[in-house]
Amino acid sequence: MNYDIRKNSLEECLNYWQSPHDHNKTENYIRPHTEQRTRYLLSLLAKYKVPKNKKILEIGCNCGRNLNGLFIDGYKSLTGVEISTEAVKKQKEFFPELKARIINKPIEDCVLKFKENEFNTIYTMAVLQHIHVDSNWILKEMANIASEYIILIELNLRDYKKIFEKYGYKLIEKRSCYLIKGLEKYFAWILKKK
């Protein structure tokens, strides 16, 4: 099933991601070239000196490839939110050493349960493009639960600068990801709380 975040219902979108198919299957997120994406994320965290002892949240963590990369690099207080039960099961198979809190729910069902400024940094990678328009409210909640940074590696489908400036953030960098295999059409937005 293909879906459109503007035409299909929120329920149809959530149902798709609970059991994705084709190029969105979990196995596709651990192919060798995907490690370059994790290294890119790590380079952004290093550039902005995100402390390794602070809490970090990944929205849409799939099988945990990025979280595992952060864990290996020394980040220890990691949380991931993932809608797909299959992806969460695969995480235990693919990355058994990973120590992270994984919440197996749609972000819509758990974002309001996090505390204000609970996470130093929140990041997404190719996730927000799949968030239904009826769930745009989660962007405000993301701003509320991050204390310092929001890092988005996403398609240029929303004006993230304008959105997050309303919630007290400043865009400190926007760059193309054209050199990263699989992310050639993506941009990285680095937003810092004012």
**Across all residues in the chain, what is the average pLDDT?**
90
The predicted pLDDT at position 43 comes to 97
Residue 1 confidence class, pLDDT cut points 50, 70, 90: very low
Which CATH number fits the domain that encloses residue 98? 3.40.50.150
Cα angle, residue 122 at apex, residues 147 and 6 outer, rounded to 5°: 120
* Residue 114 counted as domain residue: yes
Lowest mean pLDDT among 39-43, 82-86, 188-192: 82-86
Q: How many CB atoms sit inside 10 A of residue 99's CB?
A: 11
Q: Do residues 160 and 151 make contact, with C-beta atoms less than 8 angstroms apart?
A: no
Between 171 and 29, the more confident residue is 171
* Residue 174 counted as domain residue: yes
* Residue 1 counted as domain residue: no
The predicted pLDDT at position 166 comes to 97
* Residue 117 counted as domain residue: yes
Q: Are strands 187-193 and 146-154 parallel, antiparallel or unpaired?
A: antiparallel
Rounded CA separation 175/153 (Å)? 9
Q: Which residue has the tokens 């995907």?
A: 34
Q: Do residues 106 and 14 make contact, with C-beta atoms less than 8 angstroms apart?
A: yes
State which residues form the domain around 21: 10-193
Rounded CA separation 105/110 (Å)? 7
* Residue 84 counted as domain residue: yes
| Residue 22 amino acid letter | D
* Residue 47 counted as domain residue: yes
* Residue 176 counted as domain residue: yes
* Residue 3 counted as domain residue: no
Q: What total number of domains does the chain contain?
A: 1
Lowest mean pLDDT among 1-15, 35-49, 164-178: 1-15
Q: What are phi and psi of 4, to 5 degrees?
A: -125, 125
Q: Is this model's pTM higher than 0.85 or not?
A: yes
